[in-house]
């Protein structure tokens, strides 16, 4: 939501009006942001007060917005499948689009890593917002010499995690958004066993202290091989796949060996490893971090990813180009016609 808020400000600064159709699953967040913008606009009474509109509706209204030629730019955040569904509709009318789609984010823990720093980043990236953000950590690659220690540390932390009402500052993880999300998580965990994976901890729903309509779960830790097919897909839930590697080149290969390319991280004290990971031979993601987790967005940096993540960029120094119409303007202050290629123009007599 923070990235979206920055883009809204950017769009307004660039002289645009905004029509926001949020996910039907998060209407309250959208209304809260909308009211903040309306409150800010009241302080500038000389400006139009209707430059930002909000529509709370089902998905059917999205298609009308997408297909409308008056929608100068369609900025869409969602799943890879959503992007593949709406991209042809926008392209059909030669419209402009900006996509920020799914992530299948990986974090690499090298032999030289500061483990205390790395473990903290792993936990927050994997369980923050219950694993329901595009930059959530899905895949953890650990050097084989550290795999046992890392797994033991994570299990110990996961066992003691405080899960509950997210409005309680003492709780580190809240609920899944709905029953569908829980069922998707449950289905994935069953598939893990079929593909040779081992559930080390978690995955069960917590029922005792919560209402029947809420879906609180224990986050899952899974040991699996990178070759498992489910590694190729993103499950929007707190499931962390743990795999081992022998050398940095193998880790980079596995980091890149998925269709998505949003966020990635490496934890190392070796400068050569860090530089390789951030180079053109390293991570192919739009976001590449060193000794920082995958989760979150730096508001001054370009936010977005490559491959099936969509290729678009929000925020950052170049994002304003998406929200403005470019014009090339040539002004001739002389009284002569200037031609290219050195040609000379003479009036016929």
Residue range(s) in the chain whose domain bears CATH number 3.40.309.10: 105-290
CA 254 → CA 140, 185, 276, 305, distances in Å?
10, 23, 14, 17
- pLDDT tier for residue 293 given thresholds of 50, 70 and 90: very high
What value does the mean pLDDT take over residues 255-267?
98
pLDDT at 261: 97
Query: In whole angstroms, what is the distance from residue 179 CA to residue 215 CA?
Result: 7
pLDDT at 315: 81
* Contact by Cβ (8 Å): 16, 53: no
Q: What is the pLDDT of residues 222-250, one digit of tens each?
A: 999 999 999 999 999 999 999 999 999 99
* Contact by Cβ (8 Å): 102, 308: yes
**End-to-end Cα, the chain, rounded Å:** 68
Looking at domain 2-101+310-323, its CATH superfamily turns out to be Aldehyde Dehydrogenase; Chain A, domain 1 (3.40.605.10)
Cα-to-chain-centroid distance, residue 193: 28
Q: Which helix (H) or strand (E) holds 61?
A: helix 60-67
* Contact by Cβ (8 Å): 107, 254: no
CA 313 → CA 7, 242, 294, 301, 323, distances in Å?
10, 29, 16, 9, 11
Longest dimension (CA), the chain: 98
Q: What is the pLDDT of residues 318-333, one digit of tens each?
A: 788 888 988 999 898 9
Residue range(s) in the chain whose domain bears CATH number 3.40.605.10: 2-101+310-323
- pLDDT tier for residue 2 given thresholds of 50, 70 and 90: low
Architecture per CATH, 105-290: 3-Layer(aba) Sandwich (3.40)
CA 190 → CA 179, 222, 262, distances in Å?
17, 12, 26
What value does the mean pLDDT take over residues 253-257?
98
Query: In whole angstroms, what is the distance from residue 128 CA to residue 105 CA?
Result: 14
Q: What is the pLDDT of residues 178-212, one digit of tens each?
A: 999 999 999 999 999 999 999 999 999 998 778 88
pLDDT at 51: 92
For the chain, give me the number of helices (H) and strands (E)? 9, 15
Q: Which helix (H) or strand (E) holds 86?
A: helix 80-92
210 torsion bin: left (phi>0), alpha (psi -120 to 50), beta (else): beta
- pLDDT tier for residue 348 given thresholds of 50, 70 and 90: low
Query: 80-92 vs 60-67: helix axis angle to the nearest 10?
Result: 40
Q: What is the pLDDT of residues 94-120, one digit of tens each?
A: 999 999 999 999 999 999 999 999 999
* Contact by Cβ (8 Å): 237, 130: yes
pLDDT at 4: 62
CB atoms within 10 A of CB 31: 13
Query: In whole angstroms, what is the distance from residue 156 CA to residue 54 CA?
Result: 44
Residues involved in catalysis: 100, 134
Percent of the chain with pLDDT over 70: 97
């Amino acid at each position: 939501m923070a990235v979206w808020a920055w883009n809204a400000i950017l769009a307004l600064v660039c002289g645009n009006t905004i029509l926001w159709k949020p996910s039907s699953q998060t209407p309250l967040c959208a209304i809260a942001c909308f009211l903040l913008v309306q409150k800010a606009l009241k302080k500038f009474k000389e400006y139009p007060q209707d430059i930002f509109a909000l529509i709370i509706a089902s998905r059917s209204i999205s298609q009308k917005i997408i297909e409308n030629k008056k929608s100068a730019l369609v900025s869409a955040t969602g799943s890879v499948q959503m992007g593949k569904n709406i991209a042809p509709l926008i392209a059909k009318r030669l419209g402009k689009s900006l996509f920020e789609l799914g992530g299948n984010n990986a974090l690499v823990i090298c032999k030289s890593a500061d483990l205390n720093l790395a473990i903290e980043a792993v936990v927050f990236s994997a369980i923050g917002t219950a694993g329901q953000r595009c930059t959530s950590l899905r895949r953890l690659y650990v050097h084989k010499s550290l795999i046992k220690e890392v797994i033991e540390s994570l299990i110990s932390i996961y066992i003691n995690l405080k899960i509950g009402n997210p409005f309680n500052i003492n709780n580190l993880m809240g609920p899944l958004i709905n029953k569908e999300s829980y069922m998707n998580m449950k289905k994935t965990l069953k598939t893990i066993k079929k593909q040779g994976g081992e559930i080390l901890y978690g995955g069960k729903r917590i029922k005792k202290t919560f209402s029947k309509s809420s879906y609180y779960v224990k986050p899952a830790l899974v040991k699996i091989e990178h070759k498992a097919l489910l590694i190729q897909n993103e499950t929007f839930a707190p499931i962390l796949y743990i795999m081992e590697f022998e050398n940095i080149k193998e880790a980079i290969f596995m980091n890149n060996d998925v269709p998505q390319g949003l966020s990635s991280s490496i934890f190392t004290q070796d400068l050569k490893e860090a530089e390789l990971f951030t180079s053109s031979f390293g991570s192919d993601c739009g976001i590449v971090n060193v000794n920082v987790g995958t989760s979150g967005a730096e508001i001054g940096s370009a936010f977005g990813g490559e491959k099936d993540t969509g290729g678009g960029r929000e925020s950052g120094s170049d994002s304003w180009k998406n929200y403005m119409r470019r014009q090339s303007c040539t002004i001739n202050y002389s009284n002569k016609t200037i031609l290219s290629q050195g040609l000379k123009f003479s009036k016929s007599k």
